[in-house]
Amino acid sequence: MEQGSAKLGYEEIQDRPDGGRVWLRTSKLPLSDREGKVTGVIGTYEDITDRKVAEDRVQYLAYYDALTGLPNRALLQDRLAKALASARRRKDRVALLFLDLDRFKDINDSLGHSVGDLLLQEVAERLKKWSREQDTVARVGGDEFVIVLTAAKDGADAAVAAERLVHAMSAAIVVQGRTLSVGCSLGISIFPEHGADSETLIKNADAAMYCAKENGVTTLSSSRRHERSGCGAIDLGERFATGTRQERTLSRVPTANEYCHGKIIGLEALLRWQHPTLGLVPPISSYELPRTAV
């Protein structure tokens, strides 16, 4: 203004007497005398606070979950990509925990969506308190959450963290005076062992979580483990077919099923597949494969 130049259509923040702030769209023109000296200013002000609040809200919803305030899938992908890039430089590991609540649908259906929403908010707060400042906790679905643990030492370190998380989630949650018991199922994937990119790590942890849920509530499974379970049946079936064609050994362990006055009335034969890379595959994982892989 002192140099006589106009300022048109710029945005500024001004403090209000009540301690709040207001956004203004301002235009100012200098008033000059006959000698060209600026003697005053004439201006217009437009209150654009509502518009700025709406823009901030849109920006927030693009990266954060509206219900819980946690990062959403888009922000998770961004932070996970940065964590993987840092891990590559430092030769560190990154652990990804995929969490799904047990019994949430029953609670949501029986007590209503409002209780379900409050429960999700309480779960989000519990996850934030459990995690470290450098970790990322994101909500990626209805009752599904992903936790990114940076600078993980190894798979065992991630498993210990997962066990602590399962324990933390086993405590009852009080919502509107009701004491609700919800556990969780967890799947774990580790960079770089179980994937070199975000999509693969999330997919493997998700698959491992479903294996954990199939095995019972509040259980753990890693992406390496789910290759040995029914969740990896297709992959395991292909390995079994290849193994039998190459005449790999099947260990047979006969055991007595029951005795009656010293007389054997039944026998049970457990087949344990000795695989060169998977190790000893238990009967529960492979008993259907001889019929499906031939």
The reply to whether 143 belongs to the active site is: yes
Per annotation, catalytic residue among 102, 135, 143, 206: 143
d(CA 154, CA 149): 11
Question: Quick one: three-class SS letters along 175-193?
Answer: ECCEEECCCEEEEEEEECC
d(CA 294, CA 49): 70
Sign of CA dihedral 63, 69, 73, 75: positive
Grouping H, G, I as helix, E, B as strand and the rest as coil, residue 89 is: helix
183, 169 contact by CB (below 8 A): yes
Place of tokens 């654009």: 48
d(CA 230, CA 215): 10
Give the catalytic positions in this structure: 143
